[in-house]
Chains A and B, each alone.
Chain A
Amino acid sequence: MLKTNRSFIVTFAGGCSLVMITFGMTHSLGLYLIPISNHLNAGRELFSLAMALQVLFVGIAAPIFGGFADRYSPAKATTVGILILVLSRFWMANIDSPFDLIGSFILGGFGGAGFLGIVLGAVGKSVNPANRSLFAGVIMAAGSFGQFVITPIINTLIHNIGWASSLYYIVYISLFLLICSYFLSFSGKTKPFSKDTDQTISQALKQAAANKNFKLLTIGFFVCGFHVTFVGTHLPAFLEDQNLPYWLSGWALALIGLFNIVGTLMSGYLSGRMPKKNVLAAIYSLRSILFLFFILSPMNEISVLLFASILGLLWLSTVPPTNGIIADIFGPKYTSMLFGITLLSHNIGSFLGSWLGGRIFDYAGSYDYMWLLCIALGFVSSAFHFPIKADSIETISTSQKNPI
């Protein structure tokens, strides 16, 4: 029993460290915008395009790596991902052309794609289903914390040793991740809380594709990506347009980050106590109500900071219940892959949120239409979540199709 507990603790610690460091490293890529754009004598659009493509490839590769982890092992899948990530950062440190920039970012997106889904899946298989969402919340909080801790470190490195050299340090940090990846191999030694089935990946995919609840969940998660990326990318510019104090946008983003950590923990806790679909529906509705209040209320320091704090609570808090619903419906065996599919939808939303924000601003001269779109999408997503039935379904497996 002790061995089982120790195995779980090692798996959980390794998973949290992996998500924390990779979230931090991915999130700090924005720091390279100016130095790399200057190095290539290119405008900022090229870097933005590379970033957007990376986000898309994270979504595209997430189900592939998730499937790999479910089929073989989380440790093997993350090891492959880390090696691809190392290659991409090495390439990025030696870029000389736009092709190198875009290529290295796409490779980085592909390599770093599956970490979150794989870790959520590996930990989710080893915990009591009643606590699964809470542990997912802790993993997400670790990731959010990593964004806070790693970003200043990389910022210091860039200022002290230059952007290209700093990337070599990222390569070394990435190699350290191999230890975290090894810790994930202990997930196979933990006591499983649900009986394993002999369902294949293609059967799981077919079953998910035919499941109405999974479709609703995936479409709903699109809105999450749309909201957070639009706000994360365009909020500083929006606040500057309002002639508010210069320190405000930095603090607004800092409070979003702080309450994001609290919000993911809270969401994980609440998802273990009440129906997860209701938690999700409430999050999306509250986002819409919050956006509505924000654009209607007078803009001042307190309204902006309060908006940022509450938005932080709702920021990535959708992940624990979304992941939990998938595990509840289909069981934990293919959670990594199926969560990867929802992540693809999320990242398409991210891509559109970022791009449409700029496009609509250029067209209309303000973000008003974009805010209205965000409000409408939030309510639509909320409505999509209410009919979800998160009851466990009987998995279609090889043995059922070919009974002995």
Chain B
Amino acid sequence: MNILTILTAFTLCWMLIEITVFLSSKLTTTNNTQLSYESFIWSLRILAVLLLGGLIIFMDLSNDFDLKSHIFVCRI
């Protein structure tokens, strides 16, 4: 696997997320009961970094783990 390619794709997609969430916070009005933009985006950033880190370690260490065989039919 090429970690640089994965990180590039991740970063490009993340830019899209940042722009979308930022624009939504600027273009819409909220009330006091809703989660603020800062709280939400920082929670999302921390979660995404943790997930990416975990995924890289998992995919790198588990050579015998064939992820494709797990995604059989997407179900809710």
Contacts and interface: CB of A to CB of B under 8 A. Distances in A.
Interface of A: 26-31, 33-34, 51-52, 54-55, 58, 116, 128, 130-131, 134, 151-152, 155, 225, 228-229, 231-233, 236, 247, 249-251, 253-255, 258-259, 261-262, 265-266, 269-270, 272-274, 301-302, 305-306, 308-310, 312-313, 315-316, 319, 343, 346-347, 350, 354
Contact of A28 (B35, B65, B70, B74): B70
Nearest to A32: B72
Contact of A262 (B8, B34, B44, B71): B44
Contacts of A309: 9-10, 12-13
Interface string B1-27: 110011011101100110011001101
* Interface size, B (range): 35 or more
Contacts of B17: 262, 266, 313
Given A262-B44, A354-B73, A302 B33 contact: no
11 contacts: A27-B72, A28-B70, A131-B33, A236-B71, A272-B35, A274-B24, A306-B13, A312-B13, A313-B16, A316-B76, A350-B74
Interface of B: 1-2, 5-6, 8-10, 12-13, 16-17, 20-21, 24-25, 27-28, 30-31, 33-35, 40, 44, 47-48, 51-52, 55, 58-59, 62, 65-76
Contacts of A31: 69-70
Contacts of B76: 58, 116, 225, 316, 319, 343, 346-347
A261 B47 contact: yes
Given A253-B68, A301-B2, A152 B44 contact: no
Contacts of A233: 71-74
A30 B71 contact: yes
A151 B52 CA distance: 17
B75 A272 contact: no
A308 B55 CA distance: 15
A250 B73 contact: no
Nearest to A351: B73
A253 B17 CA distance: 19
Given A152-B65, A261-B47, A319-B76, A273 B13 contact: no
Contacts of B20: 266, 270
Contact of B13 (A259, A269, A270, A315): A259
B57 to A, nearest CB: 12
Given A261-B51, A309-B9, A313-B13, A273 B73 contact: no
Contacts of A55: 73, 75
A29 B72 contact: yes
B75 A273 contact: no
